[in-house]
């Protein structure tokens, strides 16, 4: 498996993913685990991640953003529960019943549509009410709750099964007053739901950072995303966890990105490299051309910034990242041959390039860097 006949591929470690699932399950002992596989499973490849999670008994739900992602999960063998976090077009609501999906609901039009659907199909629909606690994104406010309650009362097969919220400010800080405030809002809104006769069975608020740092946010279910794939939500989360005196090696990254040298060339001192002539050699230079560009998700902001690994050594990017190609300096790496493997993310010998490191060099976060890995790159499951 170390040498597939490809020029651009992603390797997914089954053992790393299994280890991360175990670590998450241990953190929330007995709660329902609803990991997020939105954004093509954070760029890892939705079909591959679903096929691996299907084998794990510890995962109860998968959380998706779109109805299309929910269908991909079903088509790749996921028969357990599905939580739909994002919006669904009213014209596509039938799929909720057909595919047995549990939507998070944040408007009365959708809730009404689901009620009618439950009546027409005779199927129970489990809805999750998204509560506004201070993120000001999808939730509904206290004054909208009676209208929701009325719709639930009208349709007996429409169940107020879940209630959820999402924290605005856990991963970006080591001070967590705002999260505490949102948690209090959530508890009080759930109490209102109970008073209105639509109390939820399953409450869920925690993404990775909340789940890792605050057991009070666990309730009956958690929705970790980035940590499933072996990444910390942020340095602040890592530091906060460390300050609580806990150990830091909970997760292991599941993804490695590889390519091959597809051209070698020797150039003289004083020559330019690539578009815009942004790099000029100061000595004779040996270059390797790689068939990777910003189309693949190798951010153009990495031009002249990052490096790749060849034969266990760092090869710095020279010049601009192109659409489909990039150039790296291998002057100091002896014996590089055409089609030798190259590591863009992952380990090679004693060196390692992390998604966090590339994200910092590109001026973004690990989430974005991973989510933007092109879905067209082949994904191979290893070990
Ligand atoms: C993406 C998402 C999550 C997972 O967040 P991570 O920070 O990746 O753990 C949880 N809940 C909701 C509503 C989300 O949109």
Which of 201, 265, 275, 295 is the catalytic position? 275
Choose the residue to mutate in 39, 41, 63 for probing ligand 1, maximizing ligand atoms within 8 Å of C-beta: 63
pLDDT by residue, tens only, the chain of 383 residues? 457 899 999 999 999 999 999 999 999 999 999 999 999 999 999 999 999 999 999 999 999 999 999 999 999 999 999 999 999 999 999 999 999 999 999 999 999 999 999 999 999 999 999 999 999 998 999 999 999 999 999 999 999 999 999 999 888 888 889 999 999 999 999 999 999 999 999 999 999 999 999 999 999 999 999 999 999 999 999 888 888 877 767 899 999 999 999 999 999 999 999 999 999 999 999 999 999 999 999 999 999 999 999 999 999 999 999 999 999 999 999 999 999 999 999 999 999 999 999 999 999 999 999 999 999 999 999 98
Neighbouring residues of 341: CB distance < 8 A, sequence distance ≥ 6: 2, 3, 258, 259, 260, 310
| String of DSSP letters for 130-187 | EBPSSS-SS-B-GGGHHHHHHHHHH-TTEEEEEEE---SSSTT-S--HHHHHHHHHHH
Alpha carbon nearest to ligand 1 atom 10, residue: 207
Give CA–CA dist 148/166, Å, rounded.
Answer: 19
Pocket lining: 205 vs ligand 1, CB cutoff 6 Å: no
The answer, yes or no, to whether any atom of ligand 1 lies below 6 A from the CB of 230, is: no
With residue 18 as reference, give the H or E element that holds it: helix 14-27
pTM of the predicted protein model: 0.96
User: Which residue is closest in CA terms to ligand 1's atom 13?
Assistant: 166
Q: Is 61 a catalytic residue?
A: no
Distance (Å) from CA 159 to ligand 1 centroid: 24
**Is 225 close to ligand 1, i.e. is its CB under 6 Å away?**
yes
Helices and strands counted in the chain (H then E) = 12, 20
Give residue 223 CA to ligand 1 midpoint distance, Å.
6
Task: Check if 38 is active-site.
Answer: yes
Ligand 1 touching residue 207 (CB < 6 A): yes
CB 170 within 8 A of CB 179: yes
Q: Which residues contact 266 (CB under 8 A, 6 or more apart)?
A: 284, 285, 286, 287
Centroid of ligand 1 to alpha carbon of 193 (angstroms)? 23
The tens digit of pLDDT for each residue in 108-117 reads 999 999 999 9
């Amino acid at each position: 498996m170390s040498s597939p006949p490809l020029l651009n591929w992603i390797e997914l470690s089954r053992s790393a993913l299994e280890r991360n699932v175990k670590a998450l399950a241990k953190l929330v002992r007995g709660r329902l685990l609803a990991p997020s596989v939105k954004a093509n499973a954070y760029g890892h490849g939705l079909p591959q991640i679903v096929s691996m999670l299907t084998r794990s008994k510890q995962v109860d739900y998968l959380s998706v953003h779109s109805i299309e992602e929910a269908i991909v999960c079903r088509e790749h063998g996921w028969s357990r529960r599905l939580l739909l976090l994002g919006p669904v077009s009213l014209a596509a609501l039938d799929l909720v019943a057909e595919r047995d999906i549990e939507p998070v609901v944040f408007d009365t039009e959708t809730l009404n549509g689901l009620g009618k659907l439950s009546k027409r199909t005779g199927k129970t629909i489990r809805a999750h009410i998204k509560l506004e606690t201070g993120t000001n994104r999808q939730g509904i406010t206290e004054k909208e709750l009676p209208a929701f309650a009325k719709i639930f009362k009208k349709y007996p097969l429409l169940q107020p099964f879940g209630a959820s919220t999402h924290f605005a400010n856990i991963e970006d800080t080591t001070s967590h007053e705002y999260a505490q405030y949102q948690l209090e809002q959530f508890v009080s809104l759930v109490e209102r739901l109970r008073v209105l006769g639509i109390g939820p069975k399953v409450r869920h608020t925690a993404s990775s950072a909340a789940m890792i740092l605050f057991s009070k946010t666990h309730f009956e279910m958690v929705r970790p995303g980035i940590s499933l794939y072996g990444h910390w939500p942020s340095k602040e989360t890592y530091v906060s966890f460390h300050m609580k005196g806990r150990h830091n090696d909970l997760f292991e990254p599941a993804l490695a990105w590889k390519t091959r040298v597809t051209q070698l060339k020797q150039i003289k001192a004083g020559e330019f490299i690539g578009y815009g002539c942004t790099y000029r050699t100061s000595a004779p230079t040996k270059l390797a051309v790689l068939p990777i560009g910003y189309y693949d998700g190798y951010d153009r902001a990495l031009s002249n910034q990052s490096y790749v690994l060849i034969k266990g050594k760092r090869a710095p990017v020279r010049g601009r990242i192109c659409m489909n190609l990039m150039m790296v300096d291998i002057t100091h790496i002896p014996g590089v041959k055409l089609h030798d493997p190259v590591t863009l993310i992952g380990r090679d010998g004693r060196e390692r390039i992390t998604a966090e490191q590339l994200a910092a060099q590109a001026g973004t976060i690990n989430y974005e860097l991973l989510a933007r890995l092109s879905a067209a790159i082949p994904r191979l499951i290893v070990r």
